[in-house]
A = this chain, B = another copy of it.
Amino acid sequence: MNQTQFYAPTRVIFGADTEKQIGDIIANYGYKKVLIHYGGQSALRSGLIDHVKQSLISKKIDFVELGGVVPNPVLSLVYQGITLAKTEKVDFILAIGGGSVIDSAKAIGYGAANEQDVWDYYSTSALPQACLPIGTILTIAAAGSEMSNSSVITNEAGNLKRGCGSDLSRPLFSIMDPVLTLTLPDYQTAAGCVDIMMHTMERYFNHGDNLELTDAISESLLRVVKKNALLLAKEPQNLAARGEVMWASSLSHNGLTGFGTDGGDFATHKIEHELSGMFDVTHGAGLAVVWPNWARYVFKERLERFVQFAVNVMDVEPCADAEETALKGIHAMENFYHALKMPTNLKELGLNPTEAELQEMAEKCDYRPDGTIGIVKKLAVSDVYAILKCSR
């Protein structure tokens, strides 16, 4: 039995029109000066940013704003946000968007509340000692950052994409109105569903004795997301399906599906970070490319687990040969990705990296001090290179 913790203090406020409460919510916490942080034009065009401002004004809450967060959010904007937050004496950050915006807000929160260079927390083992409080209005169901302790930032100098995990950055509250996701492009919706499932799959594929309860919850979540992702591919306006996927995004990355495990594998995420660090691809699409190739490379190391996944999640009829069952499960996942119009190799992702680029990605990966990533099979540089090569 692993010693394990669960800590998910974020207050989730879920349902249609919940974002209209934003002024009241922040006023109840007593914050006075908010940094409104968001991405591109869609939040502006939809009127969401204006509604939020009106709600804050009606409660006499002051604010400044910083838009322009891009997918795979960059360090340079984080530094801008830190300067703005310090200059304007901001006491609260409101992230309006998806994982990129929330991750950027977390990094600004660290930078504004500590003296140390914020990049240290992402690139070294330095730990932040404080973080400005953060709230979110979620507009993309994918990253799970709205309840998680993690954030990922890309340093443009060297295209380094690195993560930082600290409970200090878990949002105080997250407002989740599935209506806000109705306008997402289909590709983003699908990539989001891949990412949501991957957060649970990273924890599901591990090397420990899992709790039955954690497994049962994880398999339930994966089946529900799979079903609703397929539904949304046909009916993007299905609000109930949007709601299922949105709540799953949070549960999949708040620690619930990792409870009692040895921490999960996360090699797929780390390899994908190199892909999207170098080529700026959509994270979920990158995951769909890496996972099947990772899975075929490692599945014999924990065969019974891949069989369980094939049968309980992917509805594979078990064969006499366990390896065949496991491989059918991986293939079924590829079929699912294709049904969502997601790629399963680098070519489908629009990439044709050179040998040198493959090697560079493999070398830059965020290895542990022992020079490996992953748990199901500990992968060294040569393994990561091999997986990337299979992914072409």
Is A125 engaged at the interface, CB distance under 8 Å to the other chain?
no
Instruction: Tell me which of B13, B216, B224 contacts A5 (CB under 8 A).
Output: B13
Instruction: Tell me which of B2, B5, B224 contacts A12 (CB under 8 A).
Output: B5
Which residues A240-263 have CB closer than 8 A to chain B?
A: 240, 243-244, 247-248, 251, 256, 259-260
Closest CB-CB distance, A260 to chain B, in whole Å?
A: 7
Contact A8–B5 (Cβ < 8 Å)? no
A9 proximity list for chain B (CB < 8 A): 8-9
Is A380 engaged at the interface, CB distance under 8 Å to the other chain?
no
A217 proximity list for chain B (CB < 8 A): 217, 220-221
A213 proximity list for chain B (CB < 8 A): 220-221, 224, 244, 247-248, 251
Which residue among A7, A9, A13, A220 has the maximum number of chain B CB atoms within 10 Å of its CB? A220
Q: In the complex, A364→B224 CA distance in Å?
A: 43
A239 proximity list for chain B (CB < 8 A): 1
Q: In the complex, A77→B256 CA distance in Å?
A: 36
A243 proximity list for chain B (CB < 8 A): 1, 211, 260
The count of identical subunits is: 2
Which residues A210-239 have CB closer than 8 A to chain B?
A: 211-214, 216-217, 219-221, 223-224, 227-228, 239
Q: In the complex, A217→B224 CA distance in Å?
A: 10
A17 proximity list for chain B (CB < 8 A): 3
Chain B minimum-CB-distance residue to A8: B8
Q: A5-B12, A224-B216 are in contact. Are A259 and B240 (CB under 8 A)?
A: no
Closest CB-CB distance, A206 to chain B, in whole Å?
A: 16
Q: A12-B7, A14-B259 are in contact. Are A1 and B247 (CB under 8 A)?
A: no
A214 proximity list for chain B (CB < 8 A): 247
Contact B211–A216 (Cβ < 8 Å)? no
A251 proximity list for chain B (CB < 8 A): 213
A209 proximity list for chain B (CB < 8 A): 240
Instruction: Tell me which of B11, B15, B223, B260 contacts A2 (CB under 8 A).
Output: B15
Is A183 engaged at the interface, CB distance under 8 Å to the other chain?
no
Instruction: Tell me which of B18, B220, B223, B247 contacts A3 (CB under 8 A).
Output: B18
Closest CB-CB distance, A339 to chain B, in whole Å?
A: 19
Which residues A196-217 have CB closer than 8 A to chain B?
A: 209, 211-214, 216-217
Q: In the complex, A8→B8 CA distance in Å?
A: 7
Closest CB-CB distance, A238 to chain B, in whole Å?
A: 12
A211 proximity list for chain B (CB < 8 A): 243-244, 247
Is A178 engaged at the interface, CB distance under 8 Å to the other chain?
yes
Instruction: Tell me which of B15, B216, B228 contacts A221 (CB under 8 A).
Output: B216
A216 proximity list for chain B (CB < 8 A): 220-221, 223-224
Closest CB-CB distance, A1 to chain B, in whole Å?
A: 6
Closest CB-CB distance, A65 to chain B, in whole Å?
A: 27
A260 proximity list for chain B (CB < 8 A): 14, 243, 247
Is A4 engaged at the interface, CB distance under 8 Å to the other chain?
yes
| Cross-chain pairs A/B with CB under 8 angstroms, 5 sampled | A5-B11, A213-B224, A217-B221, A219-B220, A247-B260
Other A-B pairs, 5, CB within 8 Å; known A3-B18, A8-B8, A256-B256: A3-B16, A5-B13, A211-B243, A211-B247, A212-B227
Interface of A toward B, CB cutoff 8 Å: 1-9, 11-18, 178, 209, 211-214, 216-217, 219-221, 223-224, 227-228, 239-240, 243-244, 247-248, 251, 256, 259-260
